[in-house]
Amino acid sequence: MVRDYDSQPSFAYEKQETPESRTDKNEAKPSENQNEQPLKSLDVSDLESKFILKARKKIRLFDPEGIYQFKGSAIPYYQSFMHLISLLLSLYLITCYFALIVFSELEHLDGVGNTSDLTMIDKLFMITLAVLTVLKLKKLISVKVTHYDVRYKLALAANGFNCIVINLVKFSIYFLALALFLIGLDHPNETILGAFERLGNGVIADFLVFSSWIVTSLIFVKAFKRFGKE
Amino acid sequence: MKYLIILAIFLVFSSQVYAKERLPSNCAHLSEVSKASFVLFNKKEFMQLGECLAIAALKNQKKLDLVRSCNEVDEDRRNFLGILSLSKLESILLGQCMGTINYIYEHYNKERVSNYRYRSSNRIVYRCNKGVKAVDILRNIKTEEIGREDIRELLCDEVYY
């Protein structure tokens, strides 16, 4: 179903508002009137409608959910431009991140050459994430959602990938803090460099890597949640 | 889309061996193994490769980083994720530790000590450690790299028979 949401929000009872209707604010959630709610059942005050209008025009860079909720309104071209730039930037960062994982695990071994220290788990998760990304992008491209399809899809893709980047950064900070804390508990006299070396090898390290892969895939799944949804 | 999938798979699997090096001559039959990348199917072959490399290094009086190798053996024993968290590098290192211990055992165990101090008596032989005990001995040494004579001193005792 494709609707034109771009006109001014017209609420049936906006003029005849009574003081009582203003008080129950929790009924008028700004995002709900975008979807299936029939217009006449909603009482929205001036302030609330201003809030919605403002929310429509807001530029979103890390918020795929918001893009999805305001999918009806047209996205200005300057915002699309910023989406495009940020999309390219985050794609570059994500590629670098995975390239860094692959190349930092290479080690030289006499007689064999550079040998990979990637485990089966690493490979399985990387392939899963690559396939997931490709499938979701395919779905995003193939499903038509609004009138402003190209801009909407660009915005959603950019927000999704930006969201991945920001969440990965956040997660790696928390993860490093937690891992160093755990190592510090076990070996109180360890230096920082020694602790980082311990992070790369050992039973605890293997478990930490496994759990970090699970969190990484959750980040991807969350960012791609609205891709291709009508 | 097809190309994206191919690119992703290529990125993941192209990382195995870049600089090709010559294997030691007595490991030449394992050169196919050194190109393989799936630990899941090739763990045994990788370990054989490691053993072969260790033996070649010992024969040529090269030094080995046995602390690291034998730590991998210990890690492999205690790891609950098993083969899923074993990489190609780790399985080769694992083989190196096993190969060293077996080589020293087969080479020196019950052999007579040929030391000038004991020339008068030829009733002194080596008795070498094997298995878990040997792994633990090698894990606890302090030096990074170690040669054949030092390994023998660590693993083998001199006893009268």
3-class secondary structure per residue, chain A: CCCCCCCCCCCCCCCCCCHHHHHCHHHCCCCHHHCCCCHHHCCCCHHHHHHHHHHHHCCCCCCHHHHHHCCCCCCCHHHHHHHHHHHHHHHHHHHHHHHHHHHHCEEEECCCEEEECCEHHHHHHHHHHHHHHHHHHHHHHHCCCCCCHHHHHHHHHHHHHHHHHHHHHHHHHHHHHHHHHHHHHHCCCCCHHHHHHHHHCCHHHHHHHHHHHHHHHHHHHHHCCCCCCC
Q: Using the beta-carbon criterion (under 8 Å), do B89 and A207 form an inter-chain contact?
A: no
Q: Using the beta-carbon criterion (under 8 Å), do B8 and A127 form an inter-chain contact?
A: yes
pLDDT in tens, A169-181: 999 999 999 888 8
Distance from CA of B59 to the nearest CA of A (A): 14
Give pLDDT, residue A13: 43
Distance from CA of B58 to the nearest CA of A (A): 13
How far, in Å, are A43, A75, B95 from residue A2 at the CA level?
Answer: 24, 16, 63
Rounded CA-CA distance A156/B5 in Å is 21
Q: Using the beta-carbon criterion (under 8 Å), do B86 and A119 form an inter-chain contact?
A: yes
In this complex, is the C-beta atom of A142 within 8 Å of any C-beta atom belonging to chain B?
no
pLDDT in tens, A182-217: 888 888 888 888 888 777 777 778 888 899 999 999
Chains A & B: contacts with CB separation below 8 Å: 118
- The residue length of chain B stands at 161
Give pLDDT, residue A108: 83
Distance from CA of A144 to the nearest CA of B (A): 18
Low-confidence ranges of chain A (pLDDT < 70): 1-40
Characterize the bridge pairing of strands B124-128 and A113-116. Answer: unpaired
In this complex, is the C-beta atom of A119 within 8 Å of any C-beta atom belonging to chain B?
yes
Q: Which helix (H) or strand (E) holds B153?
A: helix B148-155
In this complex, is the C-beta atom of A116 within 8 Å of any C-beta atom belonging to chain B?
yes
pLDDT in tens, B46-93: 888 889 888 888 888 888 888 888 888 888 888 888 888 888 888 999
User: In chain A, whose CA is at the least distance from the CA of B85?
Assistant: A119
In this structure, are residues A199 and A208 in contact, taking their beta carbons and an 8 Å threshold? yes
**Confidence band, pLDDT 50/70/90 cuts, at residue B20:** low
In this complex, is the C-beta atom of A194 within 8 Å of any C-beta atom belonging to chain B?
no
Rounded CA-CA distance A33/B84 in Å is 49
Give pLDDT, residue A38: 54
Q: Using the beta-carbon criterion (under 8 Å), do A106 and B19 form an inter-chain contact?
A: no
How far, in Å, are A117, A118, A173, B69 from residue A103 at the CA level?
Answer: 9, 10, 21, 21
**Confidence band, pLDDT 50/70/90 cuts, at residue B115:** low
**What DSSP designation does B68 have?**
H
* Residues in chain B closer than 8 A to A106 (CB atoms): 15, 18
The single-letter code of the amino acid at A49 is S
User: In chain A, whose CA is at the least distance from the CA of B35?
Assistant: A112
* Residues in chain B closer than 8 A to A122 (CB atoms): 87
Q: Which of A113, A117, A124 sits opposite B21 (nearest CB)?
A: A113
User: In chain B, whose CA is at the least distance from the CA of A132?
Assistant: B5
Task: Answer with the residue of higher pLDDT: B144 or A128.
Answer: A128
Q: Using the beta-carbon criterion (under 8 Å), do B71 and A201 form an inter-chain contact?
A: yes
- Tokens describing residue A108: 């030289």
- Is residue B38 predicted with pLDDT exceeding 80? no
* Residues in chain A closer than 8 A to B21 (CB atoms): 110-113
- Tokens describing residue B157: 């005792």
- Tokens describing residue A199: 């992070």
For residue A108, the cross-strand partners are A114
Rounded CA-CA distance B161/B153 in Å is 18
Give pLDDT, residue A29: 45
**Confidence band, pLDDT 50/70/90 cuts, at residue B119:** low
3-state secondary structure (DSSP) of residue B31 = coil
Give pLDDT, residue A9: 52
